[in-house]
Amino acid sequence: MKLRTLALLSLIFFFSYCKKDNDEPDMVSMQVHFAHHVDGKQLVKNKMVYVNEAGNPYEVTEIMYFISELKLFRSDGSVVKPAGDNDIHYIDTNDPSTFIWDLDAEIPVGTYDSLTFIFGISEARNKTGLFVNPPEVNMAWPPHLGGGYHYMMLNGFWLNTTGDRKSFNFHLGIGQIYRNNSGQVEDIIGFIQNYFLIKPPDSSFSAGKGQTVKARFTMNIENWFREPHTYDHNQWGGAIMQNQDAIQMGCENGRNVFSVEYF
């Protein structure tokens, strides 16, 4: 009797263990690659070869930016955060090593309907002192203008209406509210959080057992100046860090900047 009982308990334990083991989903790793294009072709830096929607001839010298809080939405309604706690990534066109983001957490196999991420850093986290080492610390946004860090520095040159080569710093970050719209630092009475959520179109994918999911996020640079607003360097000038109207226009255009593909 004791032997039968022992055998029965062993079988129960065995099948319970197998069931528990089988209930655990297969997991795979994920990697995000970053590319930077203009009109469907890889960015060429330091050459005045582009013309934006407003008709401004322009060139790009460098782009530095943050994306954060990447989320994957499964077909069963669940949400996966593949970067774990390390979910702020810095990208720099001067440093190709930043073009690949190896995500910390593995993701379950299965079908995913879409993904989202924040361009920049959310208000709760975008505080001065978040970074202490370069290159991220070099993205600091001036404390008197709201503190924290730039969402993006897109630097370059354009030809103005008289054909003069002028520099532009298309910098996105926290905006300011000025008393009487003075634009003077001493008249700042509030700040505006301009970070925004991006949901790229056609971002669904399937993660199969044994594979590494590789996604390519492509920044289509022309869209910063094209849609839904036509951005004119002649109107906004070379520096916009204290111009909330220009920053807001850039951020609204930014929702259409990224496309995603898998390879």
Domain range spanning residue 215? 33-262
> Given this model, what pLDDT does residue 16 score?
47
> Given this model, what pLDDT does residue 15 score?
45
Q: Is residue 140 part of a domain?
A: yes
* 54-111 residue pLDDT tens: 999 999 999 999 999 999 999 999 999 999 999 999 999 999 999 999 999 999 999 9
Q: Is residue 129 part of a domain?
A: yes
Q: Is residue 168 part of a domain?
A: yes
Q: Is residue 198 part of a domain?
A: yes
Q: How many domains does the chain contain in total?
A: 1
pTM above 0.75, yes or no: yes
Q: What percent of the chain has pLDDT over 70?
A: 91
Closest residue by Cα to residue 231 from 178, 149, 172, 173? 172
Q: Is residue 61 part of a domain?
A: yes
Q: Is residue 73 part of a domain?
A: yes
Q: Is residue 42 part of a domain?
A: yes
Q: How confident is the model at residue 18 (pLDDT cuts 50, 70, 90)?
A: very low
Q: Is residue 165 part of a domain?
A: yes
Closest residue by Cα to residue 117 from 261, 2, 240, 258? 258
Peptide bond connecting 135 to the previous residue in cis, omega within 30 degrees of 0: yes
